[in-house]
Structure 1
């Protein structure tokens, strides 16, 4: 029996709800054993209560849609009902109507399985599998709610999601927030919007925005992120930033006059001597689409971003690309750590301010005394966060020789000292200490606070850290307030798990997994059992064996190949044994610029006809996500192990938290 329904073409699945195993179609219901043909009962309709089906209404004599069916499926059923001319509808009638529907959608020259595209779509044809996903996105945006979509590579999820989202936003006065985890993914979204605009003839107002630091043309942007954020905030407040001025309407108009990428926005703003980030936010007030990072909604930036562009959550439709990254990104943004040596350096930098140094020394002593007591044999120790914060506050209640001080006032004083000092080192100890203590006071219920010492290091490497465990504390209110949200990824599996972790209401969400558009023969997957990435088995011998396999197999594959590792450390260790590789080796580096990544893609494109390259990269890195290796640019991909988080107090706390939840 085939794996697809002979009537509607949907992928069949197994069902056990009746007490026995049977094949079912998600649209038509149970199928006849061995045939793939749905069972159509003249009294009961197709399927059982667990599946969408057409059933007869007693006395009415015409099909109706079973209550509770999803909007996509009910639209499909309504198309059939509308075309029905007789009371009795047989299997041949349904098959004929399905074929008629496909003929209407496909042009005469369309490849098999390809449908004619709607006007607000960047291409002439819709790929197989893309139409169903696009229909689900359209229903989600039109009706409100959430779509958790596990969309395999090759469907074209950017075009399929952006097209109905733009149409819905323009018709209803909302704004689409297309959110990515990496800046490199912005270019695909911007180019897709340009194609939609050209093909449809519609003017689309799009703003492409990245981090304030990445858009800043000043030397200040070269500082570490924490130091830059601190100084930028202070200089914006006191007016010492020469670019922080309201952009003139003419500049905003020029940014919106065409679909510009962020590079063009920066060029226009710098020419006008205006902060590029402020220009982009001003233009976003009138935009149909805002292409931005996760942090613009899923962090403490949310209120200032929405307030700055004059939008409420109910005014926006959210598309989250590579949504499998969202939980960890939220957790990381709500987490911080402070090396004890940095607190020591902060004390030295205020040696002339006796009362300030007194309080910093008190915090230092509290941390050190806990470590000396609790970490004689342990590398990590969990702290009672409420007790620790209470102890810090009591330090300020007791005061110093100059009198007591409020903790929040003390932090403002530290910020002012840091700003006036003009410190522009790689690491500003006062700025880092201030930011950590501010975060400490804003910890949420799921945060853990702990002390940690890196492996093979002494007490002088002690760090205090707090980590967020539950991203739903941040994402839950965002999704609850927005009009709709589409979360998509090729690895959003199972969708239900991600929905629960991110706090999406089960009543408002759809969960979908779409089949790959490529034939199984084109997706050969092989397992090499002779090597392992298990921690206990890692070493020079294993690294050499992995390298030998890569050299041997890649040499037999025409064109380019890529190998992705769980960490930079393992990639570099294996790379040392890549002797005699018949392909030239390209190695990913940390913090690669867009130009660096474009140069690598260029090498792959020009070199594949000359034997090809072997690309070494890291899972979750710059070259493993958000890069379009189009036109079979890679002939073979090696996945070297799975990037599991190493055992730690944080990992154990995550397990305990979600088991209890």
Structure 2
């Protein structure tokens, strides 16, 4: 059988026909993204004989090499005169500004059309590119006929251009698979529970399933998921993996695990994605050729940059991306995004998988079906997903814009939006807030009018930051309004003279489930699924999904737990603060080593620090306090203090950067105090969430307050015991920890002995 290289129609078209500059002024072709809902809306209008999502493939031979082109066309329309290939694209652009189809979109349709003419032995076929406006839902079509001879000529030329890249990718894949075949577990032995966890991950991927795994802190969850996932790639069951997480520290853990496997001979490429504003070379993140020399002509140079990177690097972290981006004068963020579709592994924030605003839209079809998704610290995704599917606007932004020196159309639209906010404010009456089940039609109309006016100005070259920021905020809210059902509500909130309008998502489960759909296998894992049914439900799990709970490998004797009958409720904080400070002081002295006290808020923590400081011996130890806006260097200095000669007592917040994903094994940490049950602050949003879950037959208070809080407690306390040799003292300071509800939610080794 001849050696055949497989090529995706979409990848071929993008590789060959992308050109020019990055232009974030909505009018650029980079703003065009595919939207499943828009596709389905267009396809519903097809005639009975028409087909949708049609898989096509075709064989072509160039210079002695055989290539198999394949992909799914959006529509195959049966017409009397000739069949028509329909390629559907969503766009943020107003349709009257689109005068011809994008070269990339047309090229993709040309590949589909060629495959169909070859299959059916046709001499001519029609190609239609259909654009759907994201907000207005208007449609615009470009239809033209093509001869089979012309299509074949175009496809052959595209393949010739693509051939060197295809050859490199094939060579890299062969080396990768050979290295995986001989790859052994990179550490001397499996920790207790690790082999069982790794086996469950392997089985999940093999059976194309979804796994929710709770594994204790310190077991080595990162390698327990990465190693079996990589083994399935070597066996041809998968072709790529995505490691999705919320914290910089846990991304670093994934990089270290891959580096350890590379040291054992693994040849697998991996790119770590860094947020655009962090990796941008310019002072301001303005993606326009007039401002940024890396955006100017980016697509003319990107293919050479990709070939250079993939031909020379395996571990592609931020510094490596920056080095090659400077060498080839390309945008480092867009460069890393392109690489994320091509490398064997991608490490990045939840956003790139779950957030509809920034998720990698090209991760679909066959590539998604051969990709493994690993979601680290998955308990964090619950609240993050709620934020991703919510939106907010404030009246003051429209008022400020209406007073600026902007076009009359923008000034008028902003002024009307400001007045609409004032009208919503009157609904609140004497109260500070009001809840609505749906968006008032008048508000939606005014918001859409502003969106269209801003779109017009941006298309014409207006780059005022205030206009662009409000444009995207309005677009976001309009999208959320479109999705609204019983899982959403609108909160109108008065804050001084300002008014906030928030579209709040209470239950993101269906959206998370849709995001994970069609992956080869998905693994959600964390040390704290408390309780499992809550986290699993919020992340779109169902009864058919796999579940796993690994007991702690650590002995109860390794940890001394002290519970305190002290109230930390807001109304009692001033009264009980001295008792809490005394407990921390005694715990620090008894632990005889470094110690962290975790508080539920910065305000509460700062109250305790002020009360504690006069009692502290600064000659004996250093007092560290987490601040709200710590940069990476300050975080590293904070953590490095635990490795110094002098003892450390640190004050930090639960749910913050030091309460999750931080490893301080051995003598680096000997004691932890958890102050409070982590209960979120009582507010209208949480109360509305409580009512919603109560209406679903669940315990609303537990879902809105108790469960989100206990996960923060477990993460903070989990910093203490990280290895089989660690020992330490854990203080649980809150009278609720001794109730049956919380005792059932705590790990067995933390519970009161009976």
| In structure 1, C-alpha distance between the alignment counterparts of 2:294 and 2:323, rounded to whole Å | 22
Instruction: Call closer, same or farther: CA 1:236–1:484 in 2, change over 3 Å.
Output: farther
Matched, 1:334 2:389: yes
TM-score by length of 1: 0.71
Structure-2 residue corresponding to 1:5: none
After superposition, give the CA deviation of every residue in 1:40-77 in whole Å (9 maximum; x if it has no partner): xxxxxxxxxxxxxxxxxxxxxxxxxxxxxxxxxxxxxx
- Secondary structure of 1:218 counterpart: coil
C-alpha deviation, 1:332, in angstroms: 1.1
Matched, 1:284 2:340: yes
After superposition, give the CA deviation of every residue in 1:105-136 in whole Å (9 maximum; x if it has no partner): xxxxxxxxxxxxx9442212111111111111
- Secondary structure of 2:284 counterpart: helix
Structure-2 residue corresponding to 1:211: 275
Structure-2 residue corresponding to 1:555: 589
Instruction: Call closer, same or farther: CA 1:283–1:355 in 2, change over 3 Å.
Output: closer
Matched, 1:409 2:464: no
Matched, 1:654 2:672: no
Structure-2 residue corresponding to 1:576: 610
Instruction: Answer whether contact 2:212 2:547 (CA < 8 A) is retained.
Output: yes
Structure-2 residue corresponding to 1:192: 257
| In structure 1, C-alpha distance between the alignment counterparts of 2:391 and 2:273, rounded to whole Å | 25
C-alpha deviation, 1:363, in angstroms: 1.9
Instruction: Answer whether contact 1:252 1:279 (CA < 8 A) is retained.
Output: no
TM-score by length of 2: 0.63
Instruction: Call closer, same or farther: CA 1:283–1:170 in 2, change over 3 Å.
Output: farther
Instruction: Call closer, same or farther: CA 1:332–1:133 in 2, change over 3 Å.
Output: same
| In structure 2, C-alpha distance between the alignment counterparts of 1:165 and 1:302, rounded to whole Å | 25
| In structure 2, C-alpha distance between the alignment counterparts of 1:193 and 1:236, rounded to whole Å | 39
After superposition, give the CA deviation of every residue in 1:303-359 in whole Å (9 maximum; x if it has no partner): 6x2417986431211111100000111111222322322221011124x53333222
Instruction: Answer whether contact 2:597 2:673 (CA < 8 A) is retained.
Output: yes
- Secondary structure of 2:628 counterpart: coil
| In structure 1, C-alpha distance between the alignment counterparts of 2:474 and 2:676, rounded to whole Å | 38
Instruction: Call closer, same or farther: CA 1:515–1:384 in 2, change over 3 Å.
Output: closer
Matched, 1:161 2:196: no
Structure-1 residue corresponding to 2:598: 564
Instruction: Answer whether contact 1:339 1:463 (CA < 8 A) is retained.
Output: yes
Which consecutive unaligned segments of at least 5 residues does structure 2 have? Answer: 1-181, 697-754
Instruction: Call closer, same or farther: CA 1:283–1:129 in 2, change over 3 Å.
Output: same
Structure-2 residue corresponding to 1:149: 213
| In structure 2, C-alpha distance between the alignment counterparts of 1:436 and 1:214, rounded to whole Å | 21
Q: How many residues align?
A: 504
C-alpha deviation, 1:631, in angstroms: 2.9
| In structure 1, C-alpha distance between the alignment counterparts of 2:640 and 2:444, rounded to whole Å | 57
- Secondary structure of 2:680 counterpart: coil
C-alpha deviation, 1:235, in angstroms: 6.3
Matched, 1:514 2:550: yes
**Greater strand percent: which structure?**
2
Instruction: Call closer, same or farther: CA 1:237–1:148 in 2, change over 3 Å.
Output: farther
Instruction: Call closer, same or farther: CA 1:614–1:395 in 2, change over 3 Å.
Output: closer
| In structure 2, C-alpha distance between the alignment counterparts of 1:157 and 1:395, rounded to whole Å | 49
How well do the aligned residues superpose, as a CA RMSD in angstroms? 2.7
1:221-240 matches, within 5 Å, as: 221=285, 231-232=286-287
Instruction: Call closer, same or farther: CA 1:236–1:204 in 2, change over 3 Å.
Output: farther
Structure-1 residue corresponding to 2:721: none
Which of 482, 485, 489 in structure 2 is aligned with 1:448? 489
Structure-2 residue corresponding to 1:470: 507
| In structure 1, C-alpha distance between the alignment counterparts of 2:672 and 2:551, rounded to whole Å | 20
Instruction: Call closer, same or farther: CA 1:510–1:184 in 2, change over 3 Å.
Output: same
C-alpha deviation, 1:489, in angstroms: 0.8
Instruction: Call closer, same or farther: CA 1:565–1:263 in 2, change over 3 Å.
Output: farther
Structure-2 residue corresponding to 1:274: 330
Which of 369, 392, 398 in structure 1 is aligned with 2:443? 392
Instruction: Call closer, same or farther: CA 1:572–1:137 in 2, change over 3 Å.
Output: same
C-alpha deviation, 1:522, in angstroms: 0.8
Instruction: Answer whether contact 2:509 2:540 (CA < 8 A) is retained.
Output: yes
C-alpha deviation, 1:496, in angstroms: 2.6
Which of 453, 457, 473 in structure 2 is aligned with 1:436? 473
Structure-2 residue corresponding to 1:177: 242
Instruction: Call closer, same or farther: CA 1:569–1:475 in 2, change over 3 Å.
Output: same
Which consecutive unaligned segments of at least 5 residues does structure 1 have? Answer: 1-117, 222-230, 397-404
| In structure 2, C-alpha distance between the alignment counterparts of 1:565 and 1:634, rounded to whole Å | 17
After superposition, give the CA deviation of every residue in 1:66-95 in whole Å (9 maximum; x if it has no partner): xxxxxxxxxxxxxxxxxxxxxxxxxxxxxx
Instruction: Answer whether contact 1:282 1:308 (CA < 8 A) is retained.
Output: no
| In structure 2, C-alpha distance between the alignment counterparts of 1:420 and 1:185, rounded to whole Å | 40
After superposition, give the CA deviation of every residue in 1:212-265 in whole Å (9 maximum; x if it has no partner): 2221121114xxxxxxxxx54x66999993474442435554366232322322
Instruction: Answer whether contact 2:593 2:667 (CA < 8 A) is retained.
Output: no
After superposition, give the CA deviation of every residue in 1:112-171 in whole Å (9 maximum; x if it has no partner): xxxxxx944221211111111111111111111111111111211011111001111233
Instruction: Call closer, same or farther: CA 1:268–1:559 in 2, change over 3 Å.
Output: farther
| In structure 1, C-alpha distance between the alignment counterparts of 2:215 and 2:278, rounded to whole Å | 30
Structure-1 residue corresponding to 2:428: 375
